[in-house]
Amino acid sequence: MDDWQRFLIAMDKSETSRRAVRYVGHMARGLAEKHICLLHVYPEPPPDFYTRGGRLDRYQMVKDERAGIFLQDASIILEEMGISGRDISQQISMAEGRTISQAVLDIRKEGGFGTVVTGKRGVSKAEEFLFGSISNALARHARDFTAWIVG
């Protein structure tokens, strides 16, 4: 089992994600050894993106900039809760050729994160089919790690 004190928070800009960040902040505050990675994974461009003149580099830049804002806000929340900036990292990634859920699980495994946290967010059946529900995927695949789903 991977190190449970390595927290991966899969987040978006929702309030439930912010609650997940605060929850991890409370739980991790007293730990001597810890690492918290704030992760945002976004989908690939839609199928008609390129036929409408879209450029991948521009798409990624816009997505990265938007995610950077709420990840930085989450870092500030953690630091205000007493978590050292040295214990916090950020990662933004595009789910290339896979669902967002699978990308989160792959990043978890690659980084040796023993605790994965996400906010519960209601998605439609169509969104779940296209992008995958992160909370459902975590609950189904939590074998070598702990999954926390914050409502």
CATH of residue 109: 3.40.50.620
Are the CB atoms for 144 and 116 separated by under 8 Å? no
Residue 25 Cα distances to 34, 35, 40, 76, angstroms: 11, 11, 18, 11
What's the mean pLDDT in 42-55?
A: 92
Domain that holds residue 125: 3-150
Q: How many domains does the chain have?
A: 1
Q: How far is CA 59 from the centre of its chain?
A: 19
**Number of residues that this document lists for the chain:** 151
Whole-structure pTM value: 0.90
Band (pLDDT 50/70/90 cuts) for residue 114 is very high
Q: Alpha-carbon distance 78 to 29, whole Å?
A: 9
What's the mean pLDDT in 53-61?
A: 95
